[in-house]
Amino acid sequence: MYYSPTPNRRKSWFRLLSIGHRKLVIIGSLLGLLLVIFLGVIGYYGYRAAQFDLNRVCAGVNTSMLYDSSNRPIASISESESRFVSRDELPRHLVNAFVAREDENFFEHGGVVFTSVLRSALRNLQSMRYEQGASTITMQLTRNVYELSGKSMDRKLLEMMLAQRIERRFDKYTILEQYLSRIFYGQNCYGIKAAARHYFGKEVKELNLVECATLAGLVRAPSWYNPVTSMDKAIAVKNETLQRMLECEMINQEECNLATAAPIVLRRGVQSADTLSSYSVMWTRHELQEMGDELPEHSGGISVVSSLNLPLQQYLEKAVEAALTAIEQPGQYPEAWLLGLSPEEAAAARTSFARLRRPEGLKVRGENNDLKGLLQCCVLVVDARRSHRGKILALVGGRSAVDGHDRWLDKVRPGRVAAPFLFCCACLPGGDDMHIVARSTEVTGLRMGYDVVSSFYKSLKLPIEIPSREQELYLYNGLFKIRRLDLARLLFCLLNEGRGYRLSMVNSVWNSNRQLIYHYEPEKSPEYIRRESAGAVATLPPFQITDGEPVTMNEMLPEGCGHWSMVFRNRGVCTFVWMGFDDASSPQATARELRPLLSRASSRLAREIYEQARKELRAQQETAAAAQSTAQASRKTP
């Protein structure tokens, strides 16, 4: 019998493809282990997700509160009215814009799109960092309601399980209503109602296609795509949103073309129904807005611990009104201005101030809160202690916060108050201190030249309106415009050896789960104005220096811009006071009779607040020391 030496090909292939019993057991064990791990992960995160109360989804947003440095509540910084919208208020284009931009399968999925999750996971593994999150609208709502912060796999898995629970509990439109009513739209706007009013002066139901696309694109990066600060970027993201709506067949080509060509028309300045409770709230909102991306995503239910001293703030508000009333009504001389005087001196001070002539038609504040045309006052109390420099202890931005107008952000012509900065310019390396003529800023400026002086002001990187070369004398004499806040900051920096301290109020921010999401770190405060220049100028007029006394400044601003006073002690307290009228061209603002009234009242108020601030800080330090001693004693007690 003949046997072929060639092996059976079919049998060989079967051997190669066959799996032995041992291999089968190993593979089965690995698959079983993976299944157990998968079920364990699902069970673990399902159990964690079950611990969250789903009633919070529709329970409303926690009120945001402002606290002082001793954790005493000051005021709410949330809007008093409801931020939530019903489905009847939502325009079709608004719903479509957000769905197209954020989650085109929103009405089909069950809270999580697993293909998107897998795709983003592969992308993150490829780049070895967290780049994509594959978040649906429901997942974003989950993160917002429960303040799930951070970029981690643990947070993402918990978020996915919670999103599925929410989908099983609530219908799609309820989820969409809650999402639109909670998210951040920039400019301190939380919720679609606040955003529609702030940017476009409209109710939500009145928004058109262009406005809907703008807001839908804005939420990806509120500080980056904000139409107020970056119109070009806002237009670009609006057009991207419109293109997505076209691709999803939510609008036709004609609608897309018309909306793409249409400009974004802002109608800002429309106040919401609530009124701001105080200038401290206004300042806090402004500072939180400037922080932008420094704050993690949250729903607005936050607690802000500030550097404010509540007793000092309350004292300040009363003292300002008393000082302004003394100007308006002869005989209403504040008792605080008489402290330390003998009865004879007090009587003479009262009489002297009452005899000063008042401008004709000077308006007196009535009981109807009519603030138009009234004399105004701004006060800023800044901590100058070594570890607290630049922190605001108390502030007032006008006669009343009811008008929503913080006058620290308005511009004035500083006049002689800007002389120290001109003198600093004369002290720059390569210059000659003899350029300084302390009694004539005009002569000092002419000796240096327009190019040198204008370059110095530009180096400060502040929004100063620098006059043209044809008006160079305006530059030397301080007849340019600068915000009152920037003027105060420059003086504070100069008197602190030229260090660039920014004036701030927010110390820490906590979310609704009592998690710290922001903490102020003391600045290294690099040299902002050359130290040697600041030291040389701090002893020259218009600063007034007396041995053992704080540095003071009392100057009338030019062209009806009011009066400026300052009291400063290094490693102590700094107080700035401005008094005047909003309209610098009004007859009252330019009246000669007003000058001595403002000069006396402003300087006395600045000194009064300075002394009260020192008193409050001493009391605060004593309380803290006593609490520390008590704590140490309790630890020693067995």
SS3 call for 499: strand
Select the highest-mean-pLDDT range: 40-44, 49-53, 163-167, 573-577. Answer: 573-577
562 pLDDT band, cuts 50/70/90, is very high
pLDDT digits (tens, 9 = 90+) for 319-351: 999 999 999 998 899 999 998 889 999 999 999
Per residue in 128-142, pLDDT (tens digit) is 444 445 688 888 888
Residue 258 maps to a domain: yes
- pLDDT band at 298, cuts 50/70/90? low
In the predicted structure, residue 42 carries a pLDDT above the cut 90: no
Write down the pLDDT at residue 130: 45
Q: pLDDT higher for 618 or 522?
A: 618
Give the HSE-up count for residue 216: Cα atoms under 13 Å, Cβ half-sphere: 31
Q: What are phi and psi of 306, to 5 degrees?
A: -105, 180
> What distance in Å separates the CA atoms of residue 77 and residue 214, rounded to the nearest whole number?
26
pLDDT tens for each residue of 192-233? 988 898 899 889 999 999 999 999 998 888 878 888 888 999
pLDDT level of residue 271 (50, 70, 90 thresholds): very low
Burial class (CB in 10 A: 0-12, 13-18, 19+), 305: buried
User: How many separate domains does the chain show?
Assistant: 1
Task: Go through 550-581 and write b for each residue having 16 or more CB atoms within 10 A of its CB, e for each that does not.
Answer: bbbbbbbbbebbbbbbbbbbeeebbbbbbbbb
Query: Does the pLDDT value for residue 439 go beyond 80?
Result: no
The percentage of residues in the chain with a pLDDT greater than 90, rounded to a whole number, is: 43
CA-CA distance, 298 to 150, in Å (whole number)? 11
Q: How far is CA 303 from the centre of its chain?
A: 14
530, part of any domain: no
User: Can you name the residues that pair with 574 across neighbouring β-strands?
Assistant: 382, 568
What pTM was computed for the model? 0.76
Kind of pairing between the strands at 65-67 and 303-306: parallel
Distance (Å, whole) CA 503 – CA 239 = 38
For residue 182, being part of any structural domain is answered with yes
- Strand 392-396 to strand 303-306: parallel, antiparallel, or no bridges (unpaired)? unpaired
Confirm whether 268 is domain-assigned. yes
Q: What is the mean pLDDT of the chain?
A: 84
Q: Mean pLDDT throughout 393-414? A: 92
**More confident site: 117 or 250:** 250
Helix 310-328 to helix 594-636 angle (10° resolution) is: 160
Domain that holds residue 99: 81-273
Determine, yes or no, domain membership for 435.
no
Sheet strands (E) in 387-532: 392-396, 411-412, 482-483, 506-510, 516-519
pLDDT tier at 627 (50, 70, 90 boundaries)? Answer: confident
Task: Write the CATH number for 92.
Answer: 1.10.3810.10
Nearest-angstrom CA–CA distance, 259 and 239: 8
pLDDT value for 561: 95
- Three-class SS state of 565: strand
* Residue-level pLDDT at 510: 86
Residues 6+ apart with CB under 8 A from 192: 85, 94, 180, 181, 185, 204, 215
Q: What is the pLDDT of residue 272?
A: 45
CB 95 within 8 A of CB 176: yes
Give domain status of residue 430, yes or no. no
Q: What is the SS3 assignment for 197-232?
A: HHHHCCCHHHCCHHHHHHHHHHCCCCCCCCCCCCHH
Q: Is residue 257 part of a domain?
A: yes
| Tens digit of each residue's pLDDT (9 = 90 or more) over 588-624 | 999 999 999 999 999 999 999 999 999 999 998 888 8
Residue 270: the pLDDT is 47
pLDDT at residue 80 greater than cutoff 80: no
pLDDT at 9: 53
Position 350 scores a pLDDT of: 92
* Residue 94 forms part of a structural domain: yes
Q: Which of 408, 426, 403 is nearest to 276 (CA)?
A: 403
- Residue 155: what pLDDT? 78
Cα-Cα end-to-end distance for the chain: 105
User: From the CB of residue 468, how many other CB atoms can be counted at a distance below 10 Å?
Assistant: 10
Say which DSSP state 272 is in: P
Q: pLDDT digit string (tens) for 351-398?
A: 999 999 999 889 988 766 678 889 999 999 999 998 888 999 999 999
Q: Within 10 A of 31 (CB to CB), how many other CB atoms are there?
A: 10
Concatenated DSSP letters for 439-451? T-HHHHHHHH-HH
pLDDT for the residue 275: 41
DSSP state of 527: B
